[in-house]
Structure 1
Amino acid sequence: MIYTITLNPSIDYVMEVADFKEGSVNRAEHTMYYPGGKGINVSRVLKRMGADTTVLGFTAGFTGTFIKEKLIEEQVAVKLIEVEGTSRINVKLKAGTETEINGTGPIVDEGAAARLISQLDALQPADFVVIAGSLPGTVPPTIYQTIVEKCNKHEANVVIDTGGALLKDLLVERPFLIKPNHHELGDLFGVTIQTKEEVVEYARKIHDQGVQNIIVSMAGEGALLYSSEGVYIAKAPKGNVKNSVGAGDSLVAGFLAGYEKYANIEEALRYGIASGSATAFSHDLCQKEEVEKLLKQVEIDKL
């Protein structure tokens, strides 16, 4: 089972406006509503790829009900804890450039946080737990640390997709996978990374700390995977980019789905890159058929 933890889920409200004018009445040509949040995105893609997944986290109010109902429609298992307030709505305005306005989330008290931690007692050694996104202001600041410690106690595999001080503090826990971009990798060491050689150098430093797999996205240069089995460079397929929301989450989901299927790091990377690309070329998250069409176009070289 692959569990995902999203502490502050959202409704992603996407509006496409052809000729946006600030200070005027604008009419959207297309509107779309999706259950959002990084971990939820991972679970939605995992389910589409045929992997077993369960969503953990907090929801509240009528917006929280929408999030749960949409996930159930997609046959994603849901164990979200209801709290006070209202789950947030994040507006994605597509009008030439893309603008995001993220709402505020509900109040998560200590009791709700403790219930989430207790859910992890069901973990088994073969399970994966994806911890994704930033911390909402109302949860204990050490909650990610507590989650990872609980996962380690049950010998579950931890995937961390966050950044900054949160990520840096969790490296000592030796997670199975992290996925920084090259800017975030540099931030961990207080440097600016500009070349592929520097990516390899600093990914090696992370690996030497005990992190098992490090995927570093490098914008137009593709992505690099540093693992005990080797260092791989992957070039993404070419296509018409329509969507920047969820591509990184899809990469994580594709990697885990591929790893569960093949137990092979290189094939997992291929599925991850194809999944991230398929989402970038779509208006929503990728579908399995779209991913499979792109697999042969993913070029991977071992350094």
Structure 2
Amino acid sequence: MIYTVTFNPALDYVVKADHFTLGTVNRADWEGIYCGGKGLNVSTVLAALGFGSTALGFVAGFTGHEILKRVMNMGFRSDFIQVEKGMSRINVKIKSSEETELNGMGPEITGEDIKLLFDKLDCLTEGDVLVLSGSIPKTIDDDIYERIMARLKDRGIRIAVDATKDLLINVLPYQPFLIKPNNHELGEMFHVTLSSKEEIIEYGKRLQEMGAQNVLISMAGDGAILITADHEVYQMGVPKGIVKNSVGAGDSMVAGFLAGYLENGSYEHALRLGSAAGSATAFSEGLATRDEIMILYDELSKEGF
């Protein structure tokens, strides 16, 4: 079974305005409401690729109830903990000549709520996959990823971590199955500017030396690099398309990689499916469908990347 954790899920209120001006009344030309959160994005794309998962995390208030209702129709299970204080976030995303976001705070998560999450995680067994992704809410200690991985250590659970800077660095001693920094985040971790693929590979290998098993580095329009647990290096380009959406592309890459690896254990297939999934979401208004992903998968194959 695959499990994803979204500590702070949200309702994303997305509006488009052709001419958005600060300090005046603006009217939307288009609007939509979606469930937001990196773990939820991973579960959604996994479902599109035929892999079930269970989404874990915390919800609260009337927005939390709406998230639970919407998740029921998204193709995967949820087992969220309902907390008492506050409400799940509403994130406002304004798309105009520039993109502007205003993210809500989220509920107050207590130590007892964390204990309930740990109780659920204790049910994971050998062969399960756990995806930890995204930032940590202010009401949770920053070491929560480390505490989860320490608790599950030596139980044969593959853990994928998609986080930035110290959150990622601090989990490396627990040997995560997969980490996915982008090239800019990789440079920031070591306080350097990476200007070539050779340098990116060099510093990706440093993360591996620090404990990561597989290091997947996304490079936007320059493709992706995978450094595998058996020390092979694979590179993948990007298919042709127009970027319409940056939200969820990295989560889609993680989902595609995991789906590909779980299908047949091939790192090349996993990298290609992950690259196709990430690009398909970037080329779509929302998260990619299976058909959109597989069209780009075939294109990557034909191009011989």
- TM-score clears 0.5: yes
Aligned length: 302
Question: Which residue in the other structure is 2:247 paired with?
Answer: 245
Q: Shift in Å at residue 240 of structure 1?
A: 1.4
Alignment of 1:192-271 (within 5 A): 192-227=193-228, 228=230, 230-271=232-273
Other-structure match for 1:81 = 81
Secondary structure in 2 matching 1:73:
coil
SS at 1:90's partner residue? strand
CA distance in 2, matches of 1:238, 1:99: 27
Partner of 1:93: 94
Distance 1:74 1:179 in 2: 24
Structure 1 residue 279, shift from structure 2 partner:
0.5
Instruction: Decide whether the 8 Å contact of 1:236 with 1:297 is kept in 2.
Output: no
Q: Is the counterpart of residue 149 in structure 1 residue 155 in structure 2?
A: no
Shift of 1:96: 1.9
Indicate conservation of the 8 Å contact 1:176/1:211, yes or no. Answer: yes
Q: Which runs of 5+ in 2 are unaligned?
A: none
Q: What residue identity is the alignment partner of 2:117?
A: L
The CA distance in 1 between the partners of 2:304 and 2:148, in whole Å, is: 35
Greater strand fraction, Structure 1 or Structure 2: 1
Q: Distance in 2 between matches of 1:191 and 1:212?
A: 23
1:66 deviates by 1.0
- Partner amino acid, structure 2, of 1:124: T
Amino acid at match of 1:260: L
In structure 1, what is the Cα distance between the partners aligned to 2:268 and 2:3? 23
Inter-partner Cα distance in structure 1 for 2:87 and 2:224: 37
Kindly indicate whether the alpha-carbon contact (under 8 Å) linking 2:160 and 2:179 is maintained by their aligned counterparts in 1.
yes
CA shift at 1:208, angstroms?
2.1
Q: Is the 8 A contact 2:15 2:31 kept in 1?
A: yes
Partner of 2:105: helix, strand, or coil?
A: coil
Contact persistence 1:229–1:265 (CA under 8 A): no
Q: 1:163 — aligned with what?
A: 164
Are the structure 2 counterparts of residues 301 and 179 from structure 1 closer, same or farther at C-alpha, using a change threshold of 3 Å?
Answer: farther
**1:259-298 mapped onto 2 (5 Å cutoff):** 259-298=261-300
> What's the % identity of the aligned pairs?
46
Stretches of structure 1 that go unaligned for 5 or more consecutive residues are none
Deviations 1:87-137 (A, max 9, x none): 001111110221111111100000000110111111111111000011101
AA paired with 1:24? Answer: T
TM-aligned CA deviation for residue 288 of structure 1: 0.5
Q: How far apart are residue 52 of structure 1 and its match?
A: 1.5
Q: Please, what TM-score do these two structures have when normalized by structure 2?
A: 0.96
Tell me the SS of whatever aligns to 1:44.
Answer: helix
Matched residue, 2:184: 183
For the 8 Å contact 1:44–1:71, the answer to whether it is kept is no
C-alpha distance in 2 between matches for 1:130 and 1:86: 24
Paired residue type of 1:256: L
* Counterpart residue identity of residue 288, structure 1: R
CA shift, 1:229, in A, is 5.2
For residues 80 and 26 of structure 1, the distance between their equivalents in structure 2, rounded to whole angstroms, comes to 36
Instruction: Give the secondary structure class of the aligned counterpart of 1:46.
Output: helix
